[in-house]
Amino acid sequence: MVNDLILDVHDLKKAYDGVDVLKGIGFSLKKGETKVLIGPSGSGKSTLLRCINYLTTPDAGCIKLNGEEVLDTNIDAMRARMGFVFQDFNLFSHLTVLDNVRICQIKVKGKDKASATERAHQELERVGLADRAEAYPAELSGGQQQRVSIARALAMDPDVLLFDEPTSALDPELTGEVTKVMQQLAKEGMTMVVVTHEMSFARQAADEIIFMEHGYIVEQGAPDFMFNQSTHERTRAFLNVIAEHG
């Protein structure tokens, strides 16, 4: 159904210093879907994600969120509906975990402190950090910090969650605790676009995997197709290399 369409990206283009990074990217995302973007470094994955919420302004193309075009003129309102989880956490070091999760609810959504606090506690419970509400980011592991940033995004009731390589700064053990939370969100029907090199997450949680290279979508499909029946030589080569080094 048309009203199930959350995100629609059409012919997105971006260049830096005359070098084309995105060369006409398009995909759509329905409510409850998880799409995983994979590909070698420099393929345009993170740029695509940043263009979707205008952290990077696209040169051309159209992005629609729930049927409404994302533009410079409405970007603050649109960003409030798109949660973004960065690879380097982006927490406020001078604020407690609780304050990090509730501050955007108060500043952006205009919630009162009591309701923002209640929601923050709910989301910290959801990501397994209910007991660290009064800690500061420096007192947490990297995996815990990333789970706080996920809780912060969830507390804003986003239409879609965007993850930009959320485990790239973490060691394998801490990576597991973050991907476990993300897999649970996928099971719960959270709408997500995830840039990642974690193929186990892609295999288990994605509804569709999109393989990008040189600013193009090379191939896309369900996990079983992409891992076992992909038709493009570059897709197979990339996944083989990942498997060998995984």
Q: What is the pLDDT of residues 169-207, one digit of tens each?
A: 899 889 999 999 999 999 999 999 999 999 999 999 999
Locate the domains of the chain by residue range.
82-157
Spatial separation of the C-alpha atoms in residues 65 and 9, rounded to whole Å:
9
Stretch 134-162: mean pLDDT, rounded? Answer: 97
Q: Say what the pLDDT of residue 124 is.
A: 98
Q: What is the pLDDT of residues 5-54, one digit of tens each?
A: 999 999 999 999 999 999 999 999 999 999 999 999 999 999 999 999 99
Among 62-66, 77-81, 242-246, the minimum mean pLDDT is found in 242-246
Asked if pLDDT for residue 241 goes beyond 70, the answer is yes
* 3-state SS, residue 221: strand
Q: Say what the pLDDT of residue 71 is.
A: 93
Question: What is this structure's pTM?
Answer: 0.95
Confidence of residue 157 (pLDDT cuts 50, 70, 90): very high
Mind giving me the DSSP string for 139-172?
GS-HHHHHHHHHHHHHTT--SEEEEESTTTTS-H
Q: Say what the pLDDT of residue 244 is.
A: 67
Q: Which amino acid is at 19?
A: V
Do the Cβ atoms of 108 and 156 come closer than 8 Å?
A: yes
Q: Which amino acid is at 123?
A: E
Task: Please name which of 174, 171, 173 lies closest in space to residue 148, comparing C-alpha atoms.
Answer: 174
